[in-house]
Structure 1
């Protein structure tokens, strides 16, 4: 993420200040973590509590990447539904994975409560809003599967979704009351604070330049000239992955998620827009997602261009979506426009890799990064320390670079444009 990128609507906690702790010379640690996002810092905190010495290096400031730039939706589950997960991974692994992903939101809200984090949050549910009959059928199947596992979920008819969202154009939907919203920048900032208090050493503006195996451990060379020697490494860069792990960046397609936030709305406008405070993702091919903020704004996001934006017009598709959903808000001042980078995998599933012993990474959040990466960090630490593959929620998989990766990215860009056209025709 470029430092000149427009800032999000999210703010850090009042008085936030992370002590600067640059790497000096050659340092040693039990665990080194590249990337100070949800994955890296949740792993670091868990490792420190297990008694490990931990060094985190972050290329920018904590929160500069996707962890501070996302929409703050906390969503349980995966893109695949429980029965699909079990079919794909087999009964034993599949059932464990379903159990893991059912608790993704729990991990976030329990962390906020346990660590007493200063984070605006609400656990009022996540809504899947349906604009077609086919989407309603999908929601009914999703409801059947999750309700059968005891999840607090239910279908919504046309009147119910209109009442809960205040938006126009939906035929019905589905609500998962396990979900909710947070201020993601405050959450990642507070994770950094409690990590530092637990003894984790965090170096900001410290880019890892090279990673090499040496003897029974690893050496991480930094752009600053410093070096970290460690037996275990977690790389948590996700869509910001570069050449540190061969082939990793070419195994994902990086996309940009664009977002806008209105000026604070008047009381009568707030009463009509998401009065219950739920977050929403709709059923369009190019998903539109939205929520209210703690200071009374409406924040709305969706996929943008493959290139980084250069003008306000690059967010015009979100302005149009806002007007379509909430005609009464047409002309409302948009005070913030920002974007972040996300990673798409070909099978729409997260991938966990161990290219060499003692080096692990995870990529591909598929819109569920807040809960997924917060929950996955401690699991990776336990695997590195205990070496029990069966305890990992996701199986380790080889890194598979996408053939003709550059052309695949162009194809995704063309598909986004085509899907947006189809969505517009469906209203």
Structure 2
């Protein structure tokens, strides 16, 4: 099948920007930069949509891991308040784009449920509800009967509904972003692994593995969990994790009417959370953290199949038609990090489970920053690259923690 965009490398001359990576962050930046008259080239080491942007859970969730009061307390009234407003807008960035550009992206915007299976989680949901309701957000605290009716799942005490959220098909969205970015004038090249960056007389030289070299005034690294050693130290500021997913066969009509009848997305409150939604073709898609090594057999997805039948015993025996995984990245403080270690060299890492909306909205801000150099365009402060001490051991520790937490979760109802 031919790509939806026109692939290729830019010719000679100096570009305004080269973007390394071809996911949502890269493509959103490229789209808005091109429309602002910036000459831009996207270089992806693989194929568009093959990374986490095309393989994620498809949940479009506004906000961040932290609630408004924490963000204002941490960043101060002015910057924290602006960040809260930005975080509140991230789902709109996706759904407005789908609507305004008439993107061929299956979607449902009926909200996201944060499901609580303990009293502690329910109290946290009530606190989050209070803060967002106080800012006018369309949210609602759910009791046990309401969440049972909305999810059809077993074991929840209540939860929180954020009606600003929704679900999309992430691969369709990523490919459509590439299409409209290309139509706006951005060049997009697949199979172009960048191996060296150097700067001479204020111009960046971007060398790729096949021998091509591009010149640009600015470079944006948008590789997130696929970050390598291109920018020294950057890969050691994040902990990459694998996110595994399964999709059932299409649900029979009788079951489909009782399982997520309103089409909401769900994330639960367990230590190793699972998240799920219904796909446009009527499957239940469920995901969660997987093993750190690459999967070698269907058994590597067995923990998700157990979670599926724990939530929906009626689905015991239903065929699992699809299994896949992508790579995500967490930062130690669970916030996105923006870096500019040298003039014109920008890097963004850390989606924290909010990548679809967050990176769509952040791309527009990054494009504005490329256009005018005003640091006020960036919702997060620029920070130094600070590698995690004993990074290799941190990864081992995370793997051990996941195993331990999964065991604790298994003993809870």
TM-score range, shorter chain: over 0.9
What residue number does 2:114 align with?
128
Q: Distance in 1 between matches of 2:210 and 2:13?
A: 13
Over residues 309-343 of structure 1, what are the superposed CA-to-partner deviations in whole Å (9 max), with x where a residue is unaligned? Answer: 11111111000000000000011000001000000
**Matches of 1:250 and 1:198, distance apart in 2:** 35
Does 2:187 align with 1:197? no
The reply on whether 1:21 has 2:8 as its aligned counterpart is yes
Instruction: Indicate which of 165, 177, 194 corresponds to 2:163.
Output: 177
Give, in whole Å, the separation in 1 of the partners of 2:68 and 2:411.
32
Alignment counterpart, residue 246 of structure 1, candidates 220, 223, 232? 232
Q: Does the CA contact (< 8 Å) of 1:27 and 1:227 recur in 2?
A: no
| Aligned residue among 250, 265, 284 for 1:264 | 250
What is aligned with 2:294?
308
2:257 aligned counterpart, secondary structure: helix
Root-mean-square deviation (CA, aligned residues, Å) is: 1.1
1:397-427: CA deviation from partner (whole Å, max 9, x where unpaired): 1111011100000000011011111111112
Cα displacement (A) at 1:23:
5.5
SS at match of 1:231: strand
Distance 2:144 2:349 in 1: 37
1:105 to 83, 91, 106: 91
Shift of 1:19: 2.8
Give the Cα separation in 2 of the matches to 1:16 and 1:220.
Answer: 25
CA contact (8 A) 1:126 1:176 kept: yes
* Greater mean alpha carbon deviation, residues 206-215 or residues 171-180: 206-215
Match of 2:145 among 156, 159, 166: 159
- Between the aligned partners of 1:41 and 1:415, the Cα distance in structure 2 is 34
Distance 2:303 2:60 in 1: 24
- The equivalent residue for 2:219 is 233
Q: Displacement of 1:16 after TM fit?
A: 5.0
**Would you say the 8 A contact 1:23–1:226 is kept in 2?**
no
Query: Residues of 1 paired with 2:191 and 2:354: CA distance?
Result: 26
Partners of 2:6 and 2:187 within 8 A in 1: no
* Counterpart Cα distance in 2 of 1:132 and 1:421: 17
In 1, Cα distance between equivalents of 2:348 and 2:10: 24
Cα distance in 2, alignment partners of residues 329 and 371 from structure 1: 31
SS of the equivalent of 2:317 reads: coil
- The one of 374, 377, 390 equivalent to 1:391 is 377
- 274, 277, 280: which one aligns with 1:294: 280
Q: TM-score, normalised by structure 1?
A: 0.95
Map Cα deviations across residues 76-132 of structure 1 (whole Å, 9 max, x no partner).
000000000011111110000000000010000011111111000110000000000
Match of 1:148 in 2: 134
- Give the Cα–Cα distance (whole angstroms) in 2 for the partners of residues 150 and 323 of structure 1: 37
* Alpha-carbon separation, structure 2, partners of 1:426 and 1:101: 33
Runs of 4+ in 1 over 6 A off after TM superposition: none
Q: Is the 8 A contact 2:7 2:188 kept in 1?
A: yes
Cα distance, 1:15 vs structure 2: 7.0
Provide the residue aligned with 1:330 in structure 2.
316
Question: How far apart are residue 17 of structure 1 and its match?
Answer: 3.5
Query: Which structure 1 segments of 5+ residues have no match?
Result: 1-13
How far apart are residue 28 of structure 1 and its match?
2.7
Equivalences for residues 337-348 of structure 1 within 5 A: 337-348=323-334
Shift of 1:31: 1.0
Alpha-carbon separation, structure 1, partners of 2:294 and 2:217: 37
User: Offset at 1:18?
Assistant: 3.1
Partner of 1:9: none
Contact 1:18 1:192 in 2 (8 A): yes
1:179-220 Cα deviation digits (max 9, x unpaired): 000001000101111111111111111111111111112010
Which position in structure 2 is the counterpart of 1:275?
A: 261
Q: How does 1:80-95 map to 2 (within 5 A)?
A: 80-95=66-81
What is the deviation of 1:224? 1.3
Aligned length: 413
CA-to-aligned-CA distance 1:120-151 (integer Å, 9 cap, x gap): 01100000000000000000000000000000
Deviates more, 1:216-225 or 1:94-103: 216-225
| Unpaired segments ≥5 residues, structure 2 | none
Partner SS for 1:232 = strand
| Aligned residue in 1 for 2:43 | 57
Structure 1 residue matching 2:231: 3-state secondary structure: coil
Alignment partners' CA distance in 1, 2:203 and 2:364: 21
